[in-house]
Amino acid sequence: MFDLKLMYAEWGKVGGDVGTLQRYIEDGTPMGGFYTALFEGDLFGAVRKCDIINYSKIPDLTGWILRHAPVKCYGSPEKVDYWCFKGGAKEWNFWLKSVIPTSEEVSA
């Protein structure tokens, strides 16, 4: 079973802003320019928009996105826009069902 708390903890370990990620993944809340560029797959845009602290984190943050983020929420500007438009993971029941345990799973 996929663990949302673990997913967000891993994002924090690589230096990402956990609140920004959580709001984007779960609710489709638009992110700032740096994170938007990362999720859109715009490496040059991410470098252009990041501060000196985030510059060195780009490889780890990008690796996290590829390993952990729902495929429908990254990869192009259109995918990021649509993810926000649809309201994030709450509108993608197929993904939520795979990451949030049912009441039967919790009681087991």
- Whole-prediction pTM: 0.76
Structure tokens at 82: 């649509």
CA distance 57 to 52: 9
Q: Write b or e for each residue in 39-64: b if 16 or more Cβ atoms lie within 10 A of its Cβ, otherwise e.
A: bbbbeebbeebbeeebeebbeebbeb
Task: Tell the residue number behind the tokens 């995918």, with chain if given.
Answer: 79
- DSSP E strand stretches across 1-47: none
Amino acid in the structure at residue 98: S
What letter would DSSP give residue 72?
G
- Domain regions of the chain by residue span: 4-107
pLDDT in tens, the chain (108 residues): 345 666 667 777 777 777 888 889 888 999 999 999 999 999 999 999 999 988 998 998 898 888 888 899 999 999 999 999 999 887 765 555 555 444 454 445
